[in-house]
Amino acid sequence: GNSVTQMEGPVTLSEEAFLTINCTYTATGYPSLFWYVQYPGEGLQLLLKATKADDKGSNKGFEATYRKETTSFHLEKGSVQVSDSAVYFCALSDDNYGQNFVFGPGTRLSVLP
Amino acid sequence: AAGVIQSPRHLIKEKRETATLKCYPIPRHDTVYWYQQGPGQDPQFLISFYEKMQSDKGSIPDRFSAQQFSDYHSELNMSSLELGDSALYFCASSLALAGGGYNEQFFGPGTRLTVL
């Protein structure tokens, strides 16, 4: 079945540090890939997405490129802020109709001032 | 802009009791999804509905049932509650595109269920 693997957390960085959270996936078809962010006590928010190979999703300084050859969708940000502290979930949807997601285990990011 | 509304936000029940969680999708959205997120776990897909019909089923226990009503809101009914049902239950909604294709799921804030 489909699955998503993320680097284990927690990840602790100083403000303005470079962030990478690795994500790799296994899927039978050609999934769409997503990064969701969950701030403390809140619901999941879509951070960015990519629907086909070589697409780059970007939002709020975060970027991720859909790499079919390595089945990866690593999340990067050049300079993190304290407000980026949250849990980040990589997810895939293998259905063009946006049906059920498969989420990775989440990576907790703590950014220290 | 209106978001997905879930009620209640917090619910405490005892073992073997029943619980009903409600989800009100974004206006005009016709598709609703339910997810369960255990403590420190990733969200797990439970079930989804499109136009009041079940469209997909994930890891929903037989003790749970759900439906979508004519106003598109959805209810997740949980019976014979177990300690392991304690989790955050998310609802998401989306609008199916004419002719098919993906449309973004918008997540609600979740209902935190605690089973004692």
Instruction: Note whether A27 and A101 are within 8 A (CB).
Output: no
- pLDDT for the residue B68: 96
pLDDT tens track for B32-75: 999 998 887 888 889 999 889 998 888 899 999 999 999 999 99
Q: Distances from the Cα of A31 to the Cαs of A20, A84, A87, B37, B106, in angstroms?
A: 22, 27, 22, 22, 19
Window from A15-19, A75-79, A99-103 with minimum mean pLDDT:
A99-103
Nearest residue of chain A to residue B6 (CA atoms): A43
Burial of A72 (0-12, 13-18, 19+ CB in 10 A): middle
At residue B84 the predicted structure's pLDDT band, cuts being 50, 70 and 90, is very high
**pLDDT higher for A65 or A103?**
A65
CB-closest option in B41, B94, B109 to A98: B94
At residue B1 the predicted structure's pLDDT band, cuts being 50, 70 and 90, is low
Share of chain A above pLDDT 90, in %: 65
At residue B100 the predicted structure's pLDDT band, cuts being 50, 70 and 90, is low
Give the separation between CA B1 and CA A73, rounded to whole angstroms. 30
Interface mutation target, options A99, A107, A108, chain B, most CBs of B under 10 Å: A99
Closest to A93 measured CA to CA, from A113, A74, A107, A73: A73
Q: What is the 3-state secondary structure (H, E, C) of chain B?
A: CCCCEEECCEEEECCCCCEEEEEECCCCCCEEEEEEECCCCCCEEEEEEECCEEEEECCCCCCEEEEECCCCCEEEEECCCCHHHCEEEEEEEECCCCCCCCCCCEECCCEEEEEC
Interface of B with A (CB under 8 A): 4, 31, 33, 35, 41-45, 48, 55-56, 58, 90, 92, 94, 96, 100-110
- pLDDT for the residue A75: 98
pLDDT tens track for A10-62: 999 999 999 999 999 998 778 889 999 988 767 788 899 998 899 999 999 99
